[in-house]
Copies of this chain bind each other. A is one copy, B any other.
């Protein structure tokens, strides 16, 4: 089964928007034994017809993204229907779903919005749980030229990632699985997640043993403070791989799920029946944001403090003025006092404190931009543990690395308690 992807969207070619669909689709299709043979990006507009024609006789399946919305440049649906000679009919179920969705947002349906309920004859509607434009699946159909040829299986998806991603997971992958049945080698994919290690070190240590498992596919993905080892193989190979990974890096391997580190931390806290609070300076709420991204976080995270100014560190955390004066806000002493103060204020089992210099300004030779101290105080270990890091990167990555290190410091304490 040869699959191609066509991404429509002028914004992708003008440099406004990164094409994240390609990587997402590539990763999602792998377990089905499907690979993307070619991917084309084209502007909004009539060229989509030409691009589809080029795939005829070459591709079995074509996934098209974008151009299904309500504005004048959203013409994928109309052009493909015209190309295949299919009439467009108003689908009452889609229309009702759009109306419902708009009513929820206290908006009325306009003629432009109603266009999204037009479905080419013979198409299957792919539900959009997060937007008004449904996806569409068109089975192979005769095309005008070359004679007697059939179009590929066509899957049309909306452009916004928050609509496309759930649709791929819930509608497209089951459909493709049935199309591929018996025609591709279906394997499973697992992401082994390792905290605070470098990609080179992980690869050098694991690669010989993982490749000795036989016919597996191995990839690495480096994120902020995390390396993901991606393995495609049989269930037995994946089980053996997990043993290899966890034995090689027992302190760093934290999950084989799709979820980042905060899910592991919240899960550990919930299993222990314990709670956490945060005192953030340079991460400015990002650490709390990550914890509260986990459904059910409220059971383990009652409150958090963002103490950006020194006054806030004194007022809210009781950090003694003398420590701020003598050591500065970015110091192990102030970090320890922040963690202790947060623990006292929230009556939780654990408190994480972060103080550092996110930049772009504010550094000094002794404490350059990127310096960060992370402190952990616990009821069972009242003396705070403070670690120092240097992340000389731009502001958002700095916040990610600092929050990741804080979560990992807590994780390492919690795994010794379960």
Which positions in A face B, CB cutoff 8 Å?
10-20, 22-28, 30, 35-44, 47, 69-73, 104-105, 107, 110, 112-113, 130, 160, 162, 166, 189, 191, 198-200, 203-204, 207, 217-222, 224, 228, 230, 232, 278, 280, 283-289, 291-293, 295, 297-298, 301-309, 311-312, 315-316, 345-346, 358-361, 390, 392-397, 399
Contacts and interface: CB of A to CB of B under 8 A. Distances in A.
A200 B111 CA distance: 10
Given A71-B220, A130-B394, A289-B284, A41 B38 contact: yes
Minimum-distance CB pairs A-B, first 5: A284-B292, A15-B27, A285-B288, A15-B26, A303-B312
Given A280-B285, A297-B308, 16 more contacts: A14-B26, A15-B25, A18-B20, A38-B41, A110-B200, A113-B200, A283-B289, A284-B291, A284-B301, A285-B289, A285-B306, A295-B361, A302-B308, A303-B312, A303-B315, A305-B316
Nearest to A166: B394
A71 B203 contact: yes
Q: How many copies does the complex hold?
A: 2
Contact of A39 (B13, B25, B292, B360): B13
Contact of A220 (B40, B73, B105): B73
Contacts of A306: 278, 285, 288, 292, 303-306
Contacts of A222: 69, 160
B19 A19 contact: yes
A13 B288 CA distance: 33
A48 to B, nearest CB: 11
Contacts of A13: 22, 26, 35-37, 39
Contacts of A346: 312
A237 to B, nearest CB: 16
Contacts of A28: 15
13 contacts: A11-B230, A12-B23, A12-B39, A16-B220, A38-B47, A70-B200, A70-B203, A73-B220, A104-B390, A110-B200, A162-B393, A166-B394, A284-B293
Contacts of A130: 393-394, 397
A19 B23 contact: yes
Residue with the greatest number of chain B CB neighbours at <10 A, chosen from A14, A38, A298: A14
A263 to B, nearest CB: 12
A389 B391 CA distance: 38
A104 B307 CA distance: 28
A396 B203 CA distance: 32
B309 A298 contact: yes
Contacts of A69: 199, 222
A189 B358 CA distance: 30
Contacts of A288: 284-285, 288, 306
